[in-house]
């Protein structure tokens, strides 16, 4: 059995990855929307997204819609695999594996 993923297991990062994992692979979520869903602050979000980006679990895209800046995030393929491994680990742990 693999061990827990220390990057993902932290509560806010767990919620971020679970939320992004609910989207199809090609879809990104706007930063503001993700923040609202999780009820987190700007600073908190930036810290945890930074940690996930450093682990190459998420990609962050910045662009403009008209004159308004837009930041979007998505799980990378590696992030999705890491999340699935972590969920499998948690399930194994509960089932006594």
Q: Is 3 in the site for other proteins (CB under 8 A)?
A: yes
**Residue selected from 46, 51, 55, 90 as contacting other proteins according to rule CB under 8 A:** 90
- 3-state secondary structure at position 3: coil
Query: Which residues fall within 8 angstroms of residue 76, CB to CB, at 6 or more apart?
Result: 56, 57, 58, 59
Closest approach, Cβ 67 to other proteins, in A, equals 22
Contact status, residue 70 vs residue 30, Cβ threshold 8 Å: yes
User: Would you tell me which residues interact with other proteins (CB under 8 A)?
Assistant: 3-4, 6, 9, 11, 14-15, 18-27, 33, 37-38, 87, 90-91, 93-94
């Amino acid at each position: 059995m693999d061990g827990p993923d220390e990057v993902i297991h932290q509560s806010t990062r767990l919620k971020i990855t679970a939320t992004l994992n609910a989207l199809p692979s090609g879809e990104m979520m706007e930063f503001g929307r993700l923040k609202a869903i999780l009820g987190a602050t700007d600073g908190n979000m930036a810290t945890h997204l930074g940690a996930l980006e450093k682990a190459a679990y998420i990609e962050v895209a910045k662009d403009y819609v008209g004159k308004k800046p837009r930041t979007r995030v998505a799980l990378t393929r590696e992030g999705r695999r890491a999340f699935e491994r972590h969920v499998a680990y948690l399930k194994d742990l509960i089932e006594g594996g």
